[in-house]
Structure 1
Amino acid sequence: MLIGVTVKVAEDPSINVVANEYGFYSLSLLEGNYTMIISYPGYRDFEQSITVDKNIKLDLPLNQEEEERTAKIDEVIISGVKKR
């Protein structure tokens, strides 16, 4: 679970929640079909179509952006001079 993940409903942009300090979120939706959009900095947005016809628990995956997974830095050289 990720803290601060944003969960939005595509069909109604006014419906969105942010995952709490435990990575959990809760939405109350009327029965129907929805597209959930999950986003988090450094990760690709994830979309999932769902049908709400009862209470459901939905764990949704996120994948890191390709450039985030393969990011490299240049060599770092640390040197010092001994004090006398």
Structure 2
Amino acid sequence: MPEVDPIELDRLGHAIRVRRHTLRLSQDQAARHAGMHRNYIGALERGEINPTYGTLLRVSTGLRIPIERLIAKARSGHEDG
């Protein structure tokens, strides 16, 4: 996966947070669904981590959203879940 600039990482984190809130999941619950640690989900939501494709796939699967749709929401800045 190519390097993503910080603005895009912020948007990706926002898209993850919006989806998690739409599902009414805590960070801990979302992390368990994705098989990750809560701190990692929090860092993703804050745009602090440039995740691999595999990591994004785990997150999107845990949040029950196709990875393509999650990425599209991050690129477009849509607010819906």
Greater share of residues in strand: 1
Fold match, TM over 0.5?
no
TM-score range, shorter chain: under 0.3
Q: TM-score, normalised by structure 2?
A: 0.25
Higher relative contact order (CA 8 A, sep 6+): 2
Q: Give the structure with higher Rg (CA).
A: 1
Greater share of residues in helix: 2
Q: TM-score, normalised by structure 1?
A: 0.24
